[in-house]
A = this chain, B = another copy of it.
Amino acid sequence: MWTIRTDLAVEAREIWAESAEAQTELPGVIARDKNVAGFDITTVRITDEQGARELNKPVGTYITVELDRFINREEGAFNAGSIALAQEIEELIQMEPGDSALVVGLGNSAITADAIGPMTARHTMVTRHLVDKMPEEFGMLRRVSVLESGVLGTTGMESAELIKAVTERIRPDRVIVVDALASRRFKRVCRTVQLADTGIVPGSGVGNGRMAINTETLGIPVTAIGVPTVVDAGTLAADIAEKAGSREVSRQDFENYGGDMIVTPKDIDTSVNDISKFIGYALNLAFHQGITVDDITMFLG
């Protein structure tokens, strides 16, 4: 059998649990749940190499916020949810007062399912130049710059290469990369945000040995923010076949389905829009003390 593809630590843990023969403890992994303002938040900490091996993810902290209240358009959910997400971001990135940040939108803005990164970038308040040039007016804000790194096919450069070039020049204290992910479960697609202090390997599911974007490669703490926008079709096919009682289906059978298909919600165009704005607002709230959702709307126009 092959590893079912998921970019979410919370799902990797689920898959482990399903395959574990007895209800044994997963060594090297600590998880806890909470609910903030109606939003379910799960933190999975992979504490050692054994946990990393079992879940096929690097050692680090992974926080999953479920967006159902927001997606269902419950009253006040945008504000409450973006504040809750901002708190999780703040806690994870641990910035000092004068620290600066670079927000990188990964992915191809021309492909809806890949546009979470660039669209979040457009909802992020760009303040670096304002703080530098008008400190009396903007000095209370952190210096934030924004990069849409494009994809190899549109730039000819690996995202990691481009980000490294920029960070070496402008030397931010933190890098936040925002990207679209793949989930195993359709119910999580466009319904979940994952924060991770491990950075990211772009397009990692494809197994193409891309250069990682993390603290090791950049020399700066890197936080990854990801949203699953697709179920890998091969993963879906495996799930269905298993449910249908078959364990005989070969990898080849599935690749016939999963080759270049993606499984997305019907309303993906709207969801990607909404969630990008939600994350952008949460980032702004996390970066800048004392600002409100209305301040951000005023700033961004």
A228 to chain B, nearest CB (A): 13
Judging by beta carbons under 8 Å apart, are A143 and B166 in contact? no
- In chain A, positions 76-130 with a C-beta closer than 8 Å to chain B are 110-113, 122, 126-129
Q: How far is the CA of A57 from the CA of B112 in the complex (A)?
A: 33
Do A154 and B169 form a contact, CB below 8 Å, given A75-B294, A240-B241, A262-B264?
no
CB of A153 within 8 A of CB of B126, answer yes
Known contacts: A240-B237, A240-B240, A260-B265. The answer to whether A155 contacts B169 by CB under 8 A is no
Judge whether B162 and A166 touch: CB under 8 Å.
yes
Task: Please state if A155 and B145 are interface contacts (CB–CB under 8 Å).
Answer: yes
Residues of B within 8 Å of A145, CB to CB, are 155-157
Pairwise interchain contact A261-B269, C-beta atoms closer than 8 A:
no
Residues in A lying within 8 Å of B, measured CB to CB: 73, 75, 110-113, 122, 126-129, 143-148, 150, 152-158, 161-162, 164-166, 168-170, 186, 231, 233, 236-237, 240-241, 243-246, 248-249, 253, 257, 260-267, 269-270, 274, 294, 298, 301
Indicate if the CB atoms of B266 and A264 lie closer than 8 Å. no
The verdict on A260 contacting B266 (CB below 8 Å), with A75-B294, A75-B298, A245-B245 known, is yes
Q: Are B156 and A127 in contact (CB under 8 A)?
A: yes
* Minimum CB–CB distance for A74 against chain B, Å: 9
- Interface hub of A144, A153, A249, A264 (most chain B Cβ within 10 A): A264
A249 and B244 contacting across the interface, CB-CB below 8 Å: yes
Q: How far is the CA of A266 from the CA of B240 in the complex (A)?
A: 21
Q: How far is the CA of A110 from the CA of B271 in the complex (A)?
A: 12
A70 vs chain B, min Cβ distance (A): 11
- Residues on B with C-beta less than 8 A from A112 are 112, 269
A-B contact pairs, 15 of them (CB 8 A): A112-B112, A128-B156, A129-B152, A129-B158, A162-B166, A164-B169, A186-B261, A244-B245, A244-B248, A260-B265, A260-B267, A261-B263, A261-B266, A263-B263, A270-B301
Smallest beta-carbon distance A247→chain B, Å: 9
A170 contacts which of B143, B157, B170, B269 (Cβ < 8 Å)?
B157
- Complex Cα–Cα for A260 and B263 (A): 10
- In the complex, are the beta carbons of A156 and B126 less than 8 A apart? yes
Contact A233 B263 (CB under 8 A): yes
A233: chain B residues within 8 A (beta carbon): 263
Q: When chains A and B are docked, how far (Å) is the Cα of A165 from the Cα of B270?
A: 30
Complex contacts, A128 vs chain B, CB 8 Å: 156-157
What's the least CB distance linking A182 to chain B, in Å? 11
Cα(A153)–Cα(B233), bound, Å: 29
